């Protein structure tokens, strides 16, 4: 007997709400080596992974006051890798016990015509930058140490200039909603990186 058609199966539908837990800090260029060494010791044993990514941020201005933001990222040093589209929600504030910044997160891999698709949908590129740095993992935690380069001529990723003399350090975990122990693990890991880097939750709205 053939299997019943899929549409007849009970499907609850919807997707798991994934949240991104984030801690950020920075390290000056001359201390980068010591930080990399420490991370290599603390994190999972793997070949040091570097990345060179080009990220474009698209805005869709609707009738509401706040525009809809989507981030498209492509790898510049790995040919053939899919583009990465990401939505990040507003950070959930209010809980002082939570040690990390928590926001809703949706990650999708796409094909290369992502920018054309977004432009057709009505999105407009707001800003772009190039991120170059190192990637480490520890269990489900991902640690990225990267330098942000400003793109001087839009669309031309060769003419770039570093934004500052520091590397941005991000410790992030993408986990289903409600797992607050994750932020405790993140804080314990962040303790081990002091006093080289101070990883803390930084509210982006405060910096506007």
Query: Applying CB under 8 A, which residues contact another protein?
Result: 6-7, 11, 13-15, 24-28, 31, 34-35, 57, 59-63, 68, 121-122, 124-129, 148, 150-154, 161, 163-166, 168, 195-198, 202, 204, 207-208
| CA max distance for the chain | 68
Residue 49's φ and ψ, nearest 5 degrees, are -105, 125
- Shortest Cβ 30–another protein spacing (Å): 8
Dihedral sign of CA atoms 146, 188, 205, 19 in order: positive
The distance from CA 178 to its chain's CA centroid, rounded to whole angstroms, is 19
| Separation CA 25–CA 66 (nearest Å) | 27
- Which residues, 6+ apart, have CB-to-CB distance to 151 below 8 Å? 128, 129, 130, 157, 159, 160
- Shortest Cβ 169–another protein spacing (Å): 8
β-strand partners of 103: 20, 91
Count of CB atoms situated within 10 Å of the CB of 184: 13
Q: Which is nearer to another protein, 47 or 176 (CB)?
A: 176
Q: Which is nearer to another protein, 182 or 196 (CB)?
A: 196
Q: Which is nearer to another protein, 79 or 195 (CB)?
A: 195
- Shortest Cβ 149–another protein spacing (Å): 9
| Separation CA 21–CA 174 (nearest Å) | 6
Q: Which is nearer to another protein, 46 or 177 (CB)?
A: 177
Tell me 174's DSSP state.
E
Tell me 200's DSSP state.
B
Q: Which is nearer to another protein, 181 or 207 (CB)?
A: 207
- Shortest Cβ 80–another protein spacing (Å): 26
- Shortest Cβ 119–another protein spacing (Å): 10
Query: Are the CB atoms for 77 and 52 separated by under 8 Å?
Result: yes
Q: Which is nearer to another protein, 61 or 179 (CB)?
A: 61
- Shortest Cβ 98–another protein spacing (Å): 18
């Amino acid at each position: 007997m053939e299997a019943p058609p899929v549409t007849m199966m009970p499907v609850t539908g919807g997707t798991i709400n994934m949240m991104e837990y984030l801690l950020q800090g920075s390290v000056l260029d001359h201390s980068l080596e010591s930080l990399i060494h420490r991370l290599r010791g603390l994190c999972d044993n793997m070949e040091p992974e570097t990345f060179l990514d080009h990220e474009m941020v698209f805005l869709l201005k609707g009738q509401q006051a706040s525009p809809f933001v989507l981030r498209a990222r492509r790898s510049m040093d790995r040919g053939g890798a899919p583009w990465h589209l990401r939505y990040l929600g507003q950070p959930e504030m209010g809980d002082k016990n939570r040690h990390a910044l928590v926001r809703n997160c949706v990650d999708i891999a796409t094909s290369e015509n992502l920018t054309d698709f977004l432009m057709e949908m009505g999105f407009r590129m707001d800003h772009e930058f190039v991120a170059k740095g190192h990637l480490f993992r520890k269990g489900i935690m991902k640690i990225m140490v990267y330098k942000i380069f400003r793109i001087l001529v839009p669309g031309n990723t060769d003419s770039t200039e570093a934004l500052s003399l520091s590397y941005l350090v991000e410790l992030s975990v993408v986990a289903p909603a409600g797992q607050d122990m994750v932020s405790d693990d993140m804080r314990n890991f962040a303790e081990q990186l002091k006093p080289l880097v101070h990883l803390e939750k930084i509210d982006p709205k405060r910096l506007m």
